[in-house]
Amino acid sequence: MALKLVGSFPVQPDRVWCAAPHPHLPLVATASTDRAVRIYSLRDFSLVSTIEGGHKRSIRSISWKPNTKGENVLATGSFDSSTGIWHQEHRHAAGGDGEEPLESNAEEREEDEEWRFAVVLDGHDSEVKSVAWSAGGSFLATCSRDKTVWIWEDMGNENYETIAVLQDHSQDVKMVAWHPEEELLASSSYDDTVRLYKEDVDDWVCCAVLTGHTSTVWSISFEKNGHQSRLASASDDQTARIWHRKPKAKEESSTQPPSIIKGTGDETENWEEQSCLPKVHTRTIYSVDWSKKTGLIATAGGDGQIVVYQEVDGAKDGEQPGAGAEGRKEWKIIAQVPAAHGVYEINSVTWCPKWDKKGTTVDGELLLSTGDDGVVNIFELSL
Amino acid sequence: MSDIINANPTILNPSDLPTRHSESRKKQSSSAHIADTISRLPAPKALLYDPFASSPGEDSAYSSGASDRDGDEDETAAEDIDEQEIYDLISTISDPEHPLSLGELAVINLPHIHVTHTSPTPQNPHPMSHVLVEITPTINHCSLATVIGLGVRVRLEQALPPRFRIDVRIREGTHQSTDQVNKQLNDKERVAAACENETLMGVLSNMLATCK
């Protein structure tokens, strides 16, 4: 298999930190050093809008709010220590949930609709590094160099309330990511750990700590596969690792070795490292993304490479199939692109659906990468 | 700032420092090339007083100075940039607390600079080059080590073509919190954010003002 470059978005003047595909429209938003958000169409790879004026410093991270009706909502995290919430209302029909023709119409109108800087969420003491909406859209998580993770709840009418300030990390928090189905939040840090949080009665608490990386963990991504929850992490130690949640220990499990997981009471979760992806990166891995559609994992980083991994049956010839309870699985590299942004570093990779010109999703999946060259490249995996 | 941290540093005589400056510049096309690149950088004042303009410090130099020209630069200067070239770029940076250069204070030393080039291959026509600079702080608890390291990194990011990957480290055994400083200096996001901090950029532009 090979990754084929199928397009790229026009050059922006500065480093592009990340790109976020819209949850159900053929749009992608980028966050860049020039303090602007750009929205591109995934139908024809054209620039739809440029949003400026909300932040005083680089925009580091961007996230589309899922499940919005009749409007588009973006959250942006900036080095100016604030988080912005942006609204774009559709005056007429709703933005469609499921009906493609409506969606494409809605998207055409977007070129005329103004984006409005609706809310500024202040609270962090220093640069906001990452923002992420929960799967249902009711919570927004933010994290910062101030070592904290904040959870904001959307109270409606553009009111946001801080419902948790989590201070478990001992250093900068680089990224936050929500579980695709559960209200389970993960954060990764300069302190080399990944932490997981969930709500315990009225308080959000840290329910697991994943240790193993030997340097900053830059990026995390959950697998979407029901309750077989797993998480991928990518680090400055040049490795990417897979962590999985072990089934809840039974009451009478006192004979088991003590859990390394710290936390409180019943809310602790038992997570452990399952595997390390094949080592091919030669510089920091800045980004990892686990495809919600195909289960493939992509990584990219300072060495300019994009690597795609697939989980395959690892049982060798002569070995009994299904010997272990989970079966023996291992990760293989199925595609590798050196210099995916020429001589420049790559800051993020993200999977997104493939669309035709009419705005209908089609078979296949695209991989978007953003680089220090100010370019967003679009790749497709071909057999 | 309060007391000087190291009031009595060891100083080298400038004429003893290794250099390829002045006497050989005309013969060194790559020197001239880099000098040319540097002359296109925004004036230090732009970094200091106008952080909200559409061309913030480091990154604007990166894109306006280097990236639109990297095509020919790749071909002409690729093999030429060596340790001496790097030394000439950074040894003239001023110390943040002494009116002396990092070369004169032996913070930057030629043997502690390592440059690696990789040849292009059919699979990878855009190989990276690598430069590692090891800094020797004047005293082992020097709290300015991070600022000096950042100055070296920013200087190299501005002057070198984008194919260079830059690692700036504190030389092993010369500082009490080597790992901590190294981790900060090589965290891309922290460096990028620091370059948007106008106070810090003011200090850095003073340090870099003496670069030739």
State how far residue A225 is from chain B, nearest Cα, in angstroms. Answer: 32
Integer-rounded Cα Rg, in Å, for chain A is 20
CATH number of B152's domain: 3.30.300.130
Task: Please indicate if any CB of chain A lies within 8 Å of the CB of B70.
Answer: yes
SS3 label, residue A298: strand
Domain contains B181: yes
CA dihedral A292, A212, B192, A61 (to 10 degrees): 20
Task: Please indicate if any CB of chain A lies within 8 Å of the CB of B69.
Answer: no
CB A174 within 8 Å of CB A143? yes
CB A173 within 8 Å of CB A147? yes
Domain contains B114: yes
Mean pLDDT estimate for chain B: 77
Contact B190 A14 (CB under 8 A): no
If you measure CA to CA, which chain B residue comes closest to A192? B183
Domain contains B126: yes
Interface of A with B in 121-160 (CB under 8 A): 126-127, 129, 145
Encoded tokens for A23:
């949850």
Task: Please indicate if any CB of chain B lies within 8 Å of the CB of A344.
Answer: yes
Give all domains of chain A, ordered by start, each with its CATH number.
Answer: 16-283 (2.130.10.10)
- Residue A70 pLDDT: 85
Task: Please indicate if any CB of chain B lies within 8 Å of the CB of A314.
Answer: no
How many structural domains comprise chain B?
A: 1
Domain contains B15: no
- Residue B38 pLDDT: 45
Question: pTM to 2 decimals?
Answer: 0.84
If you measure CA to CA, which chain B residue comes closest to A52? B54
Give the residue numbers spanning the domain of B117: 22-208
CA dihedral A369, A373, A374, A380 (to 10 degrees): -20
Cα atoms in the Cβ-side hemisphere of radius 13 Å centred on B181 = 27
If you measure CA to CA, which chain B residue comes closest to A146? B190
Q: Can you tell me the distance from the alpha carbon of B174 to that of A93, in angstroms, rounded to the nearest whole number?
A: 66
Q: Can you tell me the distance from the alpha carbon of B118 to that of A283, in angstroms, rounded to the nearest whole number?
A: 15
Q: What is the pLDDT of residues A164-191, one digit of tens each?
A: 999 999 999 999 999 999 999 999 999 9
Contact A343 B70 (CB under 8 A): yes
Domain contains B6: no
User: What is the pLDDT averaged over residues B144-160?
Assistant: 95
State how far residue A342 is from chain B, nearest Cα, in angstroms. Answer: 6
Task: Please indicate if any CB of chain B lies within 8 Å of the CB of A279.
Answer: no
Contact A343 B74 (CB under 8 A): yes
Strands A306-313 and A297-301 turn out to be antiparallel
DSSP character string of B1-48: --S-SSSS-----GGGS---TGGGTTT-HHHHHHHHHHHTSPPHHHHH
Task: Please indicate if any CB of chain B lies within 8 Å of the CB of A216.
Answer: yes
Taking CB atoms and an 8 Å cutoff, what residues of chain A touch B68? Answer: none
Q: A218-227, B69-78, B113-122: which range is least confident on average?
A: B69-78
Task: Please indicate if any CB of chain A lies within 8 Å of the CB of B183.
Answer: yes
Angle between helices B29-39 and B145-159 (to 10 degrees): 110
Q: What is the pLDDT of residues A230-262, one digit of tens each?
A: 999 999 999 999 999 988 765 444 444 555 554
Q: What is the pLDDT of residues A114-153, one digit of tens each?
A: 899 999 999 999 999 999 999 999 999 999 999 999 999 9
- Residue B97 pLDDT: 87
Domain contains B9: no
Contact B162 A216 (CB under 8 A): no
Q: Does A306 or B79 have the greater pLDDT score?
A: A306
Give me the residue from B70, B162, B193 closest to A79, CB to CB: B193
Taking CB atoms and an 8 Å cutoff, what residues of chain B touch A374? Answer: 63, 67
User: Between vectors from CA A150 to CA A145 and to CA A154, what angle results, nearest 5°?
Assistant: 140
Task: Please indicate if any CB of chain B lies within 8 Å of the CB of A192.
Answer: no
